[in-house]
């Protein structure tokens, strides 16, 4: 081989040199050898940082703000139901029903019955006026009372009460109410069952001692005053449970007002006035004047029913004995 091959590179070597240098450098780099080119750093290849960015998710829908609960109303101070009802009702009207009394809620009284007799009245109701008659018949432990009103000879109202007399006074068994042009209605006092039932409305009320009907109360209150006149002294009260034939029932509490003069056939009769005020809507205001000279039977009575203010009034005729 010629020595000139080692001393001077041939054209072929020079031609291959540009290709060989990078190859050598690559091998050195792989071998971990650092190569310096005359202290000049090789041109820096800019590093491209590749960041994978996900497509932006749509912003989450704003959650609705939690509803602020309305503050609970402050509890109202306790008040009696009757007081609230009055505020919502029309003036002068008491819509609350009255609770039936229990035995012992209403007092009972000592009584002395008037003798059997007939009392005649001038009787008026609404637009009509006529003659009335109260018949009271007592036979041992039984009684019968009847009040009739007639106008121009026609019977317009009949109240009939029958029953017994016991330790509490008059004890009705049956009361009937008959008015012209209307069917007769009845209240039945079922003493063995302790209740009052009616032929018309399907209601019941307790039968407590001393209970009266719409007619017998007039004789019962006279019997109480006969037994103890101090019971009707001014300011005193007499109470009893009273029912009609239409299912109505309530405590009637009479307050003694004092003595008033009642005009009877041109004369003036001193009588003891008692007043019962209504306690609820569609109730009855009762005024009664008791004549001590007539065994404390009414010389006058006036019953006014709300809300129409229709009045039933009885005034004793002057021809009756006193």
Q: Mind listing the pLDDT tens digit of every residue in the chain (322 residues)?
A: 444 433 444 444 355 445 554 444 444 444 443 433 334 444 454 444 434 444 444 455 555 555 555 555 555 544 443 333 333 344 444 445 678 999 899 999 999 999 999 999 999 988 889 999 999 999 999 999 999 999 988 999 999 999 999 999 999 999 999 998 899 999 999 999 999 999 989 999 999 999 999 999 999 999 999 999 999 999 999 999 999 999 999 999 999 999 999 999 889 999 999 999 999 888 999 999 999 999 999 999 999 988 788 899 999 998 754 4
What distance in Å separates the CA atoms of residue 221 and residue 237, rounded to the nearest whole number?
Answer: 11
Closest CA to 280 of 82, 79, 105: 82
- The answer to whether residue 66 is domain-embedded is no
- The answer to whether residue 23 is domain-embedded is no
- The answer to whether residue 232 is domain-embedded is yes
Q: What is the pLDDT of residue 36?
A: 39
- The answer to whether residue 170 is domain-embedded is yes
* pTM of the full structure: 0.70
The boundaries of the domain holding residue 283 are 117-316
Q: What is the pLDDT of residue 309?
A: 84
Q: What is the pLDDT of residue 221?
A: 98
Alpha helical stretches, state H, 53-92? 81-88
Closest CA to 222 of 110, 113, 133, 134: 113
Q: What is the pLDDT of residue 284?
A: 93
- The answer to whether residue 288 is domain-embedded is yes
Q: What is the pLDDT of residue 90?
A: 42
Q: Give the number of domains in the chain.
A: 1
Closest CA to 220 of 306, 131, 302, 143: 143
- The answer to whether residue 134 is domain-embedded is yes
Closest CA to 162 of 194, 140, 137: 137
- The answer to whether residue 277 is domain-embedded is yes
Closest CA to 276 of 294, 299, 250, 296: 250
What angle is formed at CA 132 by the lines to CA 243 and CA 139, rounded to 5 degrees?
A: 65
Q: What are phi and psi of 42, to 5 degrees?
A: -65, 155
Cβ-contact 216, 161 below 8 angstroms: yes
Q: What is the pLDDT of residue 23?
A: 47
Q: What is the pLDDT of residue 9?
A: 45
Q: Is 27 left (phi over 0), alpha (psi -120 to 50) or beta?
A: alpha
- The answer to whether residue 9 is domain-embedded is no
Q: What is the pLDDT of residue 128?
A: 85
What distance in Å separates the CA atoms of residue 256 and residue 292, rounded to the nearest whole number?
Answer: 14
């Amino acid at each position: 081989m010629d020595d000139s091959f080692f001393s001077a590179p041939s054209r072929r070597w020079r031609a291959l040199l540009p290709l060989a240098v990078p190859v050598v450098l690559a091998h050195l780099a792989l071998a971990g050898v650092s190569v310096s080119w005359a202290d000049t750093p090789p041109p820096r290849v800019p590093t491209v940082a590749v960041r994978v960015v996900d497509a932006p998710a749509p912003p989450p829908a704003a959650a609705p703000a939690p509803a602020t609960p309305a503050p609970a109303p402050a509890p109202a101070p306790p008040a009696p139901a009757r007081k609230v009802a009055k505020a919502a009702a029309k003036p002068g009207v008491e819509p609350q029903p009255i609770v039936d009394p229990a035995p012992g809620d209403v007092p009972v009284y000592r009584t002395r019955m008037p003798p059997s007799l007939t009392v005649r009245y001038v009787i008026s109701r609404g637009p009509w006026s006529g003659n009335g008659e109260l018949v009271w018949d007592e036979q041992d432990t039984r009684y019968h009372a009847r009040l009739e009103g007639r106008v121009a000879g026609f019977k317009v109202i009949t109240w009939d009460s029958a029953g017994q007399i016991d330790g509490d006074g008059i004890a009705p068994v049956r009361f009937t109410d008959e008015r012209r042009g209307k069917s007769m209605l009845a209240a039945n006092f079922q003493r063995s069952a302790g209740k009052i039932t009616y032929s018309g409305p399907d209601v019941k009320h307790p039968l407590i001692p001393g209970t009266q009907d719409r007619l017998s109360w007039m004789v019962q209150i006279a019997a109480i005053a006969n037994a103890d006149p101090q019971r009707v002294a001014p300011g005193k009260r007499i109470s009893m449970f009273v029912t009609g034939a239409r299912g109505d029932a309530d405590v009637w509490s009479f307050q003694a007002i004092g003595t008033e003069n009642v005009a009877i056939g041109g004369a003036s009769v001193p009588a003891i006035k008692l007043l019962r005020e209504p306690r609820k809507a569609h109730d009855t205001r009762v005024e009664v004047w008791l004549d001590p000279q007539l065994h404390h039977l009414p010389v006058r009575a006036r019953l006014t029913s709300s809300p129409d203010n229709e009045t039933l009034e009885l005034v004793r005729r002057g021809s009756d004995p006193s």
